[in-house]
């Protein structure tokens, strides 16, 4: 099934008992705003998972700005949200699917495939006259057993070893200006990992803010798909392992499930002083 579902699809299944809807709204510049927005208004029955507090580990010297959470701790949090191995999960946000895709990726990493991202986001849902509420769901805790898929991950050492490897393609998911090192509003160093090409995650969306069609995505990722088809390994990264997830999801949607996420991403890469940095285009 397509991992991107429409708001009409979700509306038709809103009260099905095996469905858990997860509100993933989060703003990097205002970390509390997502939880506050959820408290004010959300899709009926939705629970809230916070990118920083629930879907990331505490920040340390290495690991990036949103370190990968410990699987055991994450599964406890998912269980408290009512998510079990038999649950269908639909995630949404108001950030173009960026944060919802993080939850989608995390659940797949833990071995749970029945998870989807709602297209267009909460504002479109609300503006379309679909039901919203401030009432918070009474959650019945569930048991979630995880089976991590290490093949979905790349760590810093693997990325470093790939720098001179023609069989590996690195894909940077940040905006072109950050990739080129022309500006860096968040991290301590500007630029990109040497050899990486740039495919901004925002390009998975059309001008209306909805996900592009498969044909459009195939055109956008043509060089990446060609690399995969030729047997090359593809590792995708961004600033902190969050905005790379829509690119991973887009390729997964096209049938390319073997791409890896460098979870620590650029903010982890530059935490090692010896790691090289490139600027400009490649």
- What tokens were used for 195? 């050899």
Phi, psi of 237 (to 5 degrees): -140, 170
Nearest to 48 by CA among 144, 143, 133, 148: 133
Structural contact between residues 152 and 253, judged by C-beta atoms closer than 8 angstroms = no
Contact 38, 101 (CB under 8 A): no
CA pair distance 83, 81, nearest whole angstrom: 6
CB 263 within 8 A of CB 68: yes
Rounded to whole angstroms, the Cα distance separating 178 from 181 reads 5
Distance CA 112, CA 109 (A): 7
Check: CB of residue 163 under 8 Å from CB of residue 276. yes
The torsion angles phi and psi of 23, rounded to 5 degrees, stand at: -85, 120
Q: Are 240 and 64 in contact (CB under 8 A)?
A: yes
Token representation of residue 115: 């998870």
Helix 222-229 and helix 245-253, axial crossing angle in degrees, nearest 10: 70
How far apart are alpha carbons 55 and 184 in whole angstroms?
Answer: 24
Catalytic residue among 68, 238, 242, 270: 238
The continuous run of DSSP H or E covering 187 comes out as none
3-state secondary structure of 149: coil
Annotated catalytic, 238? yes
Length of the chain: 282
Catalytic residues: 238
């Amino acid at each position: 099934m397509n991992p991107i579902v429409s708001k009409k699809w979700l509306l038709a299944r809103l009260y099905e008992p095996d469905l858990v809807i997860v509100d993933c709204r989060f703003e990097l510049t205002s970390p509390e705003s997502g939880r506050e927005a959820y408290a004010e208004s959300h899709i009926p029955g939705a629970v809230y998972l916070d990118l920083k507090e629930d879907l990331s580990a505490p920040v340390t010297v290495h690991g990036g700005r949103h370190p990968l959470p410990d699987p055991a701790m994450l599964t406890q949090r998912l269980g408290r949200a009512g998510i079990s191995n038999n649950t269908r999960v639909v995630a949404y946000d108001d950030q173009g699917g960026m944060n919802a895709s993080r939850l989608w990726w995390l659940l797949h990493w833990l071995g749970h495939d029945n998870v989807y991202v709602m297209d267009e986001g909460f504002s479109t849902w609300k503006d379309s006259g679909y039901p919203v509420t401030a009432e918070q769901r009474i959650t019945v805790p569930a048991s979630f057993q995880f089976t991590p898929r290490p093949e979905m991950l790349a760590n810093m050492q693997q990325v470093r070893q790939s720098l001179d490897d023609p069989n590996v393609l690195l894909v940077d998911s940040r905006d072109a200006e950050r990739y080129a090192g022309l500006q860096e509003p968040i991290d301590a160093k500007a630029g990109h990992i040497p050899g990486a090409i740039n495919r901004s995650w925002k390009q998975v969306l059309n001008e209306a803010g909805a996900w592009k069609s498969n044909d459009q995505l195939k055109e956008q990722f043509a060089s990446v798909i060609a690399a995969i088809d030729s047997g090359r390994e593809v590792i995708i990264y961004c600033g902190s392992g969050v905005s790379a997830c829509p690119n991973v999801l887009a390729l997964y949607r096209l049938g390319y499930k073997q791409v890896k996420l460098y979870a620590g991403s650029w903010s982890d890469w530059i935490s090692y002083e010896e790691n090289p940095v490139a600027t400009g285009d490649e």
